[in-house]
Each structure stands twice: as C-alpha cells, then as structure tokens.
Amino acid sequence: MKKPHFLLLISLAGIAVCSASTAQSVVPEKAAKVARSFVSLIYNEPPDGINISPVEAGDVFTKVQAVTPNRVCDLTMRRDANANDFGWVVAKHDCKSRKL
C-alpha cells in the first residue's frame, strides 16, 4: 500500500521541478519593457541597443540581465499593478561598466 503513495509523490515532485524550470526561461514582456526603459533612462543608452535576458522569471519577482554596449546590469523586477501601465517596477539594480 505504501508504494503507490510513494510513486505519486515522486511523480508530483517531478512535475513541480519541470514547471519551475519552465517558468524561469521567459521574462514577462511588460517586465522586459520596464527594464529596458529604466536602463535607457538612467544610463542614457538607446533602447534598441539593450538586450534583456532572463536570469530567474516568476509571477511576482523577476530577475533579468540588461546588456548594453557600455554596461551589464542585473535587475530585480517586482510586480506592482498600481505603479504604472505595465504593472512592473525595478526593485533593485546593479550595473557595471563593460569598458576596461
């Protein structure tokens, strides 16, 4: 009787791991727009030259990396429906120069 419960538990754990890894591969489009606008405004970078890559994506918090010709920025985005039309804000950022 204990084996079916154990197999069910293992199956559910596998589904949870697969779901978590899938969620981490896509940045919500609106969060990416806010990240791109933020880096463009703060560092006077052209928006078209900013590449946004997912680090860890989720429903409430999303971590992205914004790469420009001059900087690499790690941004933590937080969902906030009242902040703007996009519903995302930059909660934390850390940018480093790419020039040597």
Provide CATH code, domain 2-97: 3.10.450
0.85 surpassed by pTM: no
Q: What is the mean pLDDT of residues 71-90?
A: 95
Q: Which tokens belong to 25?
A: 């591969």
> What pLDDT shows up at residue 3?
55
Q: Which of 53, 77, 82, 84 is nearest to 67 (CA)?
A: 53
Please say whether the beta carbons of 70 and 99 come within 8 A: yes
Tens digit of pLDDT for each residue in 54-76?
A: 999 888 999 999 999 999 999 99
Query: Average per-residue pLDDT in the chain?
Result: 82
* pLDDT tier, 6 (very low <50, low <70, confident <90, very high otherwise): very low
- Predicted pLDDT at 26: 82
CA–CA distance, 78 with 88 (Å, rounded to integer): 6
Q: Which residue has the higher pLDDT, 34 or 15?
A: 34
Residue 21 has pLDDT above 50, yes or no: no
> How many percent of the chain have pLDDT more than 90?
66
- pLDDT bin (cut points 50, 70, 90) of residue 5 is low
CA pair distance 36, 16, nearest whole angstrom: 31
- Distances in Å between the Cα of 69 and the Cα atoms of 6, 21, 36, 48, 99 are 52, 29, 13, 11, 9
For the chain, give every domain's residue range.
2-97
Paired strand residues for 94: 74
